[in-house]
Amino acid sequence: MPAHPLVVLKFGSSVLGTERDYAAAVAGIQRHLQRGERVLAVVSALKGATDRLLADAHFFGPEPEPAATASLLATGESASAARLALALDAAGVEAALLDPGAIGLTTQGPLLDADPVSVNADAVRRSLEHSGAAVVAGFYGRDSAGGYALFGRGGSDLTALFLAHRLGARSCRLVKDVEGVYEHDPGSGGRAPRRYALLSWDDALKLGSRVVQPKTLHFARRERIEFEVGRVGSPACTRVGPGPSAWAEPRGARRAAAKGKAGAGTASRKRSAPPDVEVCALTRALVDIPSVSGDEGEISAFVASLLERLGYRVELQEAAPGRSNVIARTAAAPRVVFASHLDTVPPFVPSSEDADHVYGRGACDAKGIVAAQIAAAERLRAEGQKAIGLLYVVDEEAGSLGAKVANGHAAAAGVKYVVVGEPTENRLAAGCMGSLRLSLATAGIAAHSAYPERGSSAILALLDVLADLRAVEWPADPFFGVTTCNIGTIGGGSRANVVPDAAQTELHFRLAIPSAGVLRRLQEVVRGRASIEVHTVTEPVRLTELPGFDACVVRYTTDAPHLSRWGAPLVLGPGTILEAHTQQEKVPKAELRAAVGEFERLARALLERSAVEARP
């Protein structure tokens, strides 16, 4: 161990509410210095400062330019770091004030949600050896061009752990105004919450961003970094690491345990209750794991780990390299399976919440649904219902590859019903329209634009075809309604002074009738003027209906048709499809909690029905 071991302390906005709070931070730093330790203090902005700066940025428009926004928001941490350096100097403590750019803290990725990649560790060590303490602004670094790049909301946590890891610090503590991480907010009233003595990275992620920035937790888990959460200088804290999680022993527990030792016998051998699944917190934990179609590896691993800790027999089924479905069963063969998808459309949007909603990419499509299904399954198992399974697939937003691969799994045998989770506002879908994705391409003859008569424009030919398509009344069905056609993309040509020799468009039909009828009508309209390439087809499907549930018909498609071997399909879930894929995607908390009960009620009805069907 070096003569002067390094301690990294991160002071967040919960302990830096006003300028007067810097005195407490100075006292904590002094205690470590008196023990012969070096201290690197990472500071956040004062409470509310980032929100005020962000409001300043939005004063000039709803989508402020990222580079200027990053530069503006970084001033909150820079000012806070300077205040702490001044407070240390006033107390007679020599401390170096380090700018993230000056110590080579470089980043990669989007300017408002970047990741740290390197730091000049020697420069930091030299400053610490000279001064004993150093202060660095958290939350930001510099990109390859030297501009400001932020680590996202709560990014000072990531600064602290990254620097502790790269500098080989003996310990890293995220300093809070409480003695660690609790099962719920200690200031929220009601029963006094239990504090974790040990908290696994995975369980910390389930608690959402109220404790530690989720991106920081993913980094800590990947790099196997253990750290502490608690008051500065207090021996009581929560240690976050590989786990397992454990509660701190309350005062008097040893005496109570000694008194009750004689009667412990049978009770001590009982299986402890399964971990509680809080649906809103789990939704946020899932949302905070990026899982755009094609990049589902991390979220599959997270869900598999969670279900294993809940006592399921879990299998990761590879649908493509690095992309796995999650299949979970109990000791009993499942008769009812909850299913949904883990992938999202781009771009990744991290979670947030207010009193009424959880926000973020996948909040309603479909990570909130996954959370509600898992919570419902836990309730059913607690009642003694064992014939429940879970299936979470990849690639639903692209081509349903995950569902198609899952359909060949042996676990499907014996399943009577599959409840596919999609946003229906907690109504039971009686049917889902189909989907037909295809492209049209036209060919022309290239020529100089000054002599267009020497060529033939592929773009003009494509526009003629599209004009005819827009005039078509596509086939309808009394149950599903009217088939629709969306012209999604158009491309063609090489430059403005060349008559284009190629053009193409992508179309997406929502099918009210089988795809063959729509393709015939399309060919009649195109009349050979463009080539047609079909990419994906999902036929419209009638679904299982049950009395006692509000019903609807949804105009989108699901994985249900591709899970034909998993029993009769049903579709239900919280949220509205109108919020899906939007920048402000959200799901009402009330619907999330209600969905747990609806999934539970639906599964009970299906288990009863399957039991009746099994009678001779």
- Residues known to be catalytic: 396
SS (H, E, C) 260-299: CHHHCHHHHCCCCCCCCCCHHHHHHHHHCCCCECCCCHHH
In sign, the C-alpha dihedral spanning 507, 512, 518, 522 is negative
Tell me how far apart the alpha carbons of residues 342 and 109 are, in angstroms, rounded to a whole number: 23
Pairing type for strands 541-542 and 196-200 reads: unpaired
Beta carbons within 8 Å of 509's beta carbon, 6+ residues apart = 435, 436, 437, 438, 474, 483, 484, 485, 486, 515, 518
Nearest CA-CA partner of 350 in 58, 44, 113, 71: 113
Residue 90 in 3-state DSSP?
Answer: helix
Kindly compute the dihedral angle of the four CA atoms of residues 330, 333, 339, 343, in this order, to the nearest 10 degrees.
Answer: 60
CA 11 vs CA 47, 86, 127, 420, 422: distances in Å: 11, 15, 20, 44, 41
- DSSP per-residue codes, 455-501: SB-HHHHHHHHHHHHHT----EETTTEE-EEEEEEEEE-S-TTEE-S
CA 531 vs CA 80, 491, 511, 538: distances in Å: 62, 15, 21, 21
> Which H or E element spans position 572?
strand 568-572
In sign, the C-alpha dihedral spanning 446, 449, 454, 455 is positive
